[in-house]
Amino acid sequence: MTSCRTAGLALAALVLVAACGGSATPIPIASSVPVVGSTGPEASIPTAADAVSTYRAYIEMNTDLLVTRTKAFTDAVIAGKLAEAKALYAPAREPYERIEPVAEVFGDLDPAIDARINDVPAGGTFTGFHRIEEALWTKNSTAGMAPIAKKLQADVIQLQALVKTVDLDPATIANGAVGLLNEVSSSKITGEEDRYSHTDLWDFEANVVGAQEAWNSVKAFVVARSPDLAATIDSGFAAVLAGLDPFKKGDGFVSYTVLKPADTLALSQLIDALADPLSQVAAIVVTAQ
């Protein structure tokens, strides 16, 4: 989570929808449109409903996984199993980081789950993943964390239910992909997000993978109108994920403290190279319909 929440701005329209109980006006598309120069059913552009259905299935799958993994993590915290809780911390956060722009739609729920200490307003309460992270790594203890853990589990269960009601459209999905890359640029690449555990590369990869899935949901619209741009974006995602490969360790990643300034610069340049073409997608999606 970042203090300025660029991704949340991209989904501002959804905030109003969620807050007011209304529904977004769907973007009408009468039927699938053939891709120029292609043949066969697989070469058709999906309807807006197809794109939304694909992405909705992805975010619902990840909130289900978030609930399951967070339960294992919080159970370990409540039981006082320090080593187990530390091992489960980064994997538990992974599904959340893949769908973070959608989670941000629901008002105070995202800060309750994912606020960093500097995001908490004066007089506010520091809760969620990072509150527990602080105790596990700076105090090397789970003492006093049971109430925080129980609240975290309740909050992700609430998110799981709310995600099923969120209104989506292809342009919003495309903007969400950009928002996830902004998350990487603003907090993951700096090592600020997981400042106690230094598990930032887990979040980094999850943001990129989540952005890639959002892109894949609307990709066919771009392929039909700007195939070169689509190829550039695909190559950009491949380059970023390949750039993380040297830092993988087992099922996860090395500590962020291992990275040298040249490493973070290289990763930052890969993100920037992808962010620019990806930022063009929402406009293309809108005009394609």
Mean pLDDT of the chain: 86
Q: Is the per-residue pLDDT at 148 higher than 90?
A: yes
- Close Cβ partners of 243 (under 8 Å, ≥ 6 residues apart): 266, 267, 270
C-alpha of 82 from chain center: 27
**H/E run at residue 170:** helix 170-183
What is the pLDDT at residue 186?
A: 78
Give per-residue pLDDT as tens, 63-99: 999 999 999 999 999 999 999 999 999 999 999 999 9
Give per-residue pLDDT as tens, 5-31: 333 333 333 333 333 334 333 333 333
What is the pLDDT at residue 1?
A: 53
Give per-residue pLDDT as tens, 162-184: 999 999 999 999 999 999 998 89
The token pair that represents 67 in the structure block: 């609930």
pTM higher than 0.75: yes
Can you give the residue ranges of every domain in the chain? Answer: 47-167, 169-289
Q: Is 53 exposed, middle or buried (0-12, 13-18, 19+ CB in 10 A)?
A: middle
CATH topology of domain 47-167: A middle domain of Talin 1 (1.20.1420)
CB 83, CB 77: distance < 8 Å: no
Tell which CATH architecture fits domain 169-289.
Answer: Up-down Bundle (1.20)
Confidence of residue 187 (pLDDT cuts 50, 70, 90): confident
